[in-house]
Structure 1
Amino acid sequence: MNTSAADNPAAAPAPLAERIARWVTSLRYEDLPEEVRNLTKLLVLDQIGCELAGAVLPNVQPVLRLADRQPGVAQATLAHSGAASTVSQVAWVNGTLGHSGECDDAHPLASHTTSAVVSAAFALAEREGASGRDLITAVVAGVQAMALIGSASTPQMLAAGWHGAKVLGVHGAAAAAGVILGLTPEQQTNAFGIAGSDSGGTVEYAQHGGEVKRTHAGSAARSGVEAAQLAQLGLTGPATIYDGPHGLLNLFAGGGDIAAVDTQWNRWLILDTIIRFFPGVATNHAPLDVIGQLRRQHGIKSADVGRIRVGLVDFAIGHGATITRPNDAISAQFSLAFSVGLQFVTGHNAPADYFEPSRWIDPEILAIGDLVEPYAMPIPEGDPAFSTKVDIELRDGTVFSAYQAGFPGHASRPATRQDTEDKFLTAVNGLVPDERASALLITVTTLEEQDTVRAVTKLYGVPDRPRL
C-alpha cells in the first residue's frame, strides 16, 4: 500500500479521522496492485447486478415510489429506471437496491461495503465526469476507510445491536466521494466528521423483521456523498469523530479497539471482501454449503432426518441462527432454520423463494427447520470466523458430519472471475436484454479504459420492472 511517514501509525498520534483522510486523499490509481484493480471491477459488476435485480423486488418498491414522487435535477442515473435525478437521490436509491436482495458483498471488518460505496461513487462520478480509473480508486478508498474503522469497532458494535453497513457506510461513502471530488486532507477529515452525525441503524430487524434494513446502505451512500460535498463547500466536523470521548468508538463500540487499526493499516482490505452466492446473511453460507454437499454425497432425504446440529461462531447465534418462524423476506434470509428447510424441500436456496410469503409458512419447510440446532463453537485458530461444523443425524441413528473453514466467495475460498460474471448474468437474466447485459459486463470489466463512468450508467434501467 501507499505509505509515508505521515501515514505510519507509530509516528502519527493524530486523530484516526485525520490519519485515514491523509491516506484516502493521497491514493492514486497507480498505487493499486493488479489484484486489487481486478477484484474491484468484479465487485462493481456484482453490485450493479444486485441493483438491477433489486428493481423488481417487492420489499423496496416503497423506496422507488418515493423516488418517483420527488424527481430532482438530472445529475446521475437511477439503476432501476435509467432516469436521471440528483446525486443524493441516486446514491440513496441505487444503494438501497444493491442491498435489497441480500446478495451484495459482505466484509468481516465492515459488514456490507460496496452497496454504500459503489452507489455513492458512481452517482458523484457521473455528475463530475470522472473516469473509470477514478471510480476504481474511489471504491478502494471507500472500502478501506470502512474496514479500518470497522477493525476497531465491528464486533463490539454488532454485540451492542448496531448495523455496520449504516454506522460505517456513511464514512466509506464519504471517502469514495472525497476521491471523486479531489478533497484535501483537511476537507476529507471534515467530511468524516460530518458523516459521523449520520452514523446509526440498529439490527433489531435481525430478530423481529422489518425491511428498513435494506435502506441502510442507501441512506449511508446519500449521507456520505452529502458530507463530502458539504466539506468541500466549507462545513466542518470534529476530527475526533472516531476516537474522541463522544466519538464513534465510544458511543457505538464501548470504546472499541483502536490498536486493531494498526494491525490492518498496511493491507489492502478490499481483498477480504466476500462475494455472496446465497441470498442471505453471511453467517449462514458455510452451513448451507456443507449441508448441500452432504445431501448430494449421501442422498439424504427430508423424511430421513432426525436432527441437524450446526456449530457456528458465537456472534452468529444471535444474528439470525435462532430465527425459526420468518414473517418477512429479511427474517427469512437471516433464518438458518428456514434456509436449511428450504434447501431440503426445494433442492436449492433460490432468491425468489425468500420473497414468497407461502414459503414462510410451508409446513414441510418449517418441519425441517425445527430439526436444526445451532450452537456456538470455538473456531480453530487461523480459520475464518465464517466456518462451521455440521452433523446430520438420520432417524436410524446414522450421522454424517463435516467441518468447513469458510465458504465459496469468502477470501479463504475466493470467487473466480467466471463465478462472479455468472452471478451477474444470472441476476439480470430476464430483466434486461441479453445484449445489454453483455455490454454492461464488458464495460465494467474494462472500466479502467473508460474515459467516463457514463459508459456504464447509460446501460442502466430494467424495462419490465413493475409499474409503481
Structure 2
Amino acid sequence: MTGTTTVSAAEEAPSTLSGRIAAWVSALRYEDLPGDVVERTRLLVLDQLGLQLRGATLPNVRPVLSLADAQPGKAAATLAHSGAATTVSQAVWVNGTLGHSAEYDDAHPLAWHTNSAVVPAALALAEREGASGRDLITAVVAGIQVMGLLGAATPKMLGLGWHGSKVLGVFGAAAAAGAVLGLTPAQLADAFGIAGSDAGGTMEYDRSGGEVKRLHAGSASRSGVEAAELAGLGFTGPATLFEGPRGLLRLFGGGGDAAALDAVWDRWLVRDTIVRFYPSVATNHAPLDAIRHLRAEHGIAAGDLARIRVGLVDFAVGHGAAITRPTDAISAQFSLAFSVGLQFVTGGNAPADYFDAGRRADPEILAVGDLVEPYPMPIPEGDPIFSTRVDIELKDGTAYGAYQAGFRGHPSRPAGDADIREKFRENVDGLIAPERADALAAAVDRLETLETVAPLTGLLGVDGLRDNGTGRQDA
C-alpha cells in the first residue's frame, strides 16, 4: 500500500495521549500513594469482593455462571462464585460480571463504575503472577485513575447513549493489568490501542431492559487484561487511539475535551469514588435518601400520599426516572418510581426485592410509583449533580419538602469505614461462614503486608458452591 504508514503505539508512545497516560501508570509506585488513598482502595476492594459473593446468588447472572462452569480452563485465578480456579480471562469475566450484577457497586462522577472492571483484572493477574498486596493496591489505583481521566475528557458519552463503564472499563482494566505485569510505557500504550477495539456498550437497556448491562464490567475487564497480555507479547495498537480522528474522544465523546483531562490530572481520582447504599442507579440515591428522611421525620405512610415531585439534574430524568413499569431487575433498578414505591411499601430498598417479579407487579408499589413526578431542575452552583428537591403532598393537603445535595456515599457525604464494612457484612451474610467473613475482611485490612494475594483469594467462593475437589462445583 502506498501513501499510508501503519504506526504502532509502541513507536509513538511518548508523543500521544495514550503514551502520556501509559508513562504515568508505568511510573506509579506504592510508595507514591498517600495514606488515605491506600485506605480508600482497601475498602473499595472489600466492597467489591462482598458484591461478587452476593452476585453469585442472583438469578440474572446464572447463565454466565453456567457458561463458565461448562468451559473450565487452566487453573490460574479464583472464581468468586465457586472458589474454583480457572484462566485469568475467565475469572475476570465472571468476577467482574458478578461485581456489577446487583447494581450495587461503586459509581464515579467521571468514571462511571470502576471497581467491577478494575479489581477483578488486578486481583486475577496478581494471583497468577504471585504479586503482592501492595502491587494489587497500586494497580487498582492506576485503573481507577485512567478511567477517571478518560471520563473527564468524554463528558458527552451518556447523551450519545454509550455506557461509560464498558467504554472506559477496558482501559482501566488494561492499566491495572499493565501495572501488575510491569509493562513498559510503550507496551501499555499498545495495550490501550488494542483495548480500544473492544470499547463500546450501548445503554438501550435503560429504555427497554435486558440484563446485558451486567456483562459490561466483566467483558471490559477481560478485554483490558487480554489487551495488556497481548501487548506484552508484542502485539500492537494504534498510537492515537484516544485523540485520533477515529479515536475514543471523537467516537464516544462527541469530540471530547482534552482540557478537562488536564484539569484533573494531578488529583487522586480514587478519592471521588461513590459507594452505593441502594442497589439502584446513582441518580436515584439522593431522592431515596431525602424520602427516607421525610418518612422518618413525619411518619408518612403510603396510604397518605397524593403527589411526589422529584427534581433532578436534566439527564437523570431520561436516564431511569422515565421508567414506571419495570419488566426485569435492571429496569426496576433504574426506575425511580419503583424504588420510591418499594421504599414506602416495604420500608426499604433491599437488593432481593429488585429481582422479585412479584414486587415488580405489586399494585401497591406501582400505585405509589404512579404518584412520582420527576422533572429537570437546575443544580445550585457548587452542589453535586446528584442532588435533588423532593416535595411530598398528602391527601389531607399537608406538604413536606426537602432539598438534598448529594447522598450518603457520595464524596460530598462520604461513606465511612464502618458504613462500608457493614455493607460488606450484609452482602456476605448467609453466604459464607462468619469466621470466613472475618478472615476475608482481615486479609483486606492487611493487604499491603501480604507478599502474595493468596491469603485473600483462598477465601473466595460462596459456601455450597465451592469446588468439591473433582473440578466441578457442588450445587
Could you say which TM-score interval applies, normalised by the shorter chain? over 0.9
Match of 1:264 in 2: 264
Question: Is 1:90 aligned to 2:96, yes or no?
Answer: no
1:122-163 per-position Cα deviation (integer Å, ceiling 9, x unaligned) = 01110000000000000000000000000011x311101000
Q: CA deviation at 1:50?
A: 0.2
Question: Is 1:420 aligned to 2:431, yes or no?
Answer: no
Between the aligned partners of 1:400 and 1:40, the Cα distance in structure 2 is 39
Q: Helix, strand or coil for the counterpart of 1:323?
A: coil
Q: Map of 1:124-143 to 2, 5 A cutoff?
A: 124-143=125-144
Q: List alignment gaps of at least 5 residues for structure 2.
A: 1-12, 466-472
Q: CA deviation at 1:43?
A: 0.2
Match of 1:122 in 2: 123
Between the aligned partners of 2:115 and 2:22, the Cα distance in structure 1 is 19
Q: Helix, strand or coil for the counterpart of 1:211?
A: coil
Between the aligned partners of 1:170 and 1:159, the Cα distance in structure 2 is 20
Q: CA deviation at 1:467?
A: 6.5
Between the aligned partners of 2:328 and 2:158, the Cα distance in structure 1 is 22
The residue type equivalent to 2:432 in the other structure is V
Match of 1:43 in 2: 44
Question: Is 1:457 aligned to 2:440, yes or no?
Answer: no
Between the aligned partners of 1:467 and 1:87, the Cα distance in structure 2 is 22
Q: Helix, strand or coil for the counterpart of 2:173?
A: helix
Match of 1:78 in 2: 79
Q: Map of 1:143-222 to 2, 5 A cutoff?
A: 143-153=144-154, 155-222=155-222
Match of 1:15 in 2: 16
Between the aligned partners of 2:406 and 2:144, the Cα distance in structure 1 is 21
Question: Is 1:28 aligned to 2:37, yes or no?
Answer: no
1:415-465 per-position Cα deviation (integer Å, ceiling 9, x unaligned) = 111110111011000000000000000100110011111110000110235
The answer to which of 143-152 and 395-404 deviates more is 395-404
Q: Helix, strand or coil for the counterpart of 1:111?
A: coil
Between the aligned partners of 2:39 and 2:463, the Cα distance in structure 1 is 30
The residue type equivalent to 1:333 in the other structure is Q
Between the aligned partners of 2:14 and 2:309, the Cα distance in structure 1 is 48
Q: Helix, strand or coil for the counterpart of 1:306?
A: strand
Match of 1:4 in 2: none
Between the aligned partners of 1:44 and 1:26, the Cα distance in structure 2 is 22
The answer to which of 457-466 and 93-102 deviates more is 457-466
Between the aligned partners of 2:329 and 2:366, the Cα distance in structure 1 is 15
Under a length normalisation based on structure 1, what TM-score does the superposition of the two structures give?
0.96
Q: List alignment gaps of at least 5 residues for structure 1.
A: 1-11
Match of 2:340 in 1: 340
Between the aligned partners of 2:16 and 2:367, the Cα distance in structure 1 is 53
Match of 2:393 in 1: 393
The residue type equivalent to 1:261 in the other structure is L
Between the aligned partners of 1:272 and 1:242, the Cα distance in structure 2 is 23
Q: CA deviation at 1:364?
A: 0.3
Between the aligned partners of 1:366 and 1:33, the Cα distance in structure 2 is 47
Between the aligned partners of 2:393 and 2:249, the Cα distance in structure 1 is 44
The residue type equivalent to 2:108 in the other structure is H
Match of 1:109 in 2: 110
Q: CA deviation at 1:207?
A: 1.3
The residue type equivalent to 1:380 in the other structure is P
Q: Map of 1:404-419 to 2, 5 A cutoff?
A: 404-419=404-419
The residue type equivalent to 2:90 in the other structure is Q
Between the aligned partners of 2:43 and 2:97, the Cα distance in structure 1 is 19
Between the aligned partners of 1:445 and 1:151, the Cα distance in structure 2 is 31
Q: CA deviation at 1:241?
A: 0.7
Size of the alignment, in residue pairs? 456
Q: Helix, strand or coil for the counterpart of 2:144?
A: helix
Q: Helix, strand or coil for the counterpart of 2:307?
A: strand
1:58-116 per-position Cα deviation (integer Å, ceiling 9, x unaligned) = 00000000000000000000000000000000000000000001111001101100000
The residue type equivalent to 1:249 in the other structure is L
- Seen in structure 2, the aligned counterparts of structure 1 residues 15 and 290 have a Cα distance that, compared at 3 Å, is same
Q: CA deviation at 1:304?
A: 1.0
Question: Is 1:303 aligned to 2:303, yes or no?
Answer: yes
Between the aligned partners of 2:15 and 2:262, the Cα distance in structure 1 is 13
- Seen in structure 2, the aligned counterparts of structure 1 residues 36 and 74 have a Cα distance that, compared at 3 Å, is same
Between the aligned partners of 2:205 and 2:336, the Cα distance in structure 1 is 15
Between the aligned partners of 2:15 and 2:306, the Cα distance in structure 1 is 58
The residue type equivalent to 2:456 in the other structure is V
Q: CA deviation at 1:15?
A: 2.0
Between the aligned partners of 1:162 and 1:180, the Cα distance in structure 2 is 29
Q: Helix, strand or coil for the counterpart of 1:171?
A: helix
Match of 1:9 in 2: none
Match of 2:322 in 1: 322
The residue type equivalent to 1:21 in the other structure is A
The residue type equivalent to 1:57 in the other structure is L
Between the aligned partners of 1:14 and 1:306, the Cα distance in structure 2 is 61
Between the aligned partners of 2:15 and 2:336, the Cα distance in structure 1 is 43
Between the aligned partners of 2:255 and 2:14, the Cα distance in structure 1 is 17
Give me the CA root mean square deviation: 1.1
Match of 2:252 in 1: 252
Q: Helix, strand or coil for the counterpart of 1:353?
A: helix
Between the aligned partners of 2:412 and 2:15, the Cα distance in structure 1 is 34
Match of 1:3 in 2: none
Q: CA deviation at 1:315?
A: 1.1
The residue type equivalent to 1:302 in the other structure is A
Match of 2:3 in 1: none
Between the aligned partners of 1:356 and 1:467, the Cα distance in structure 2 is 25
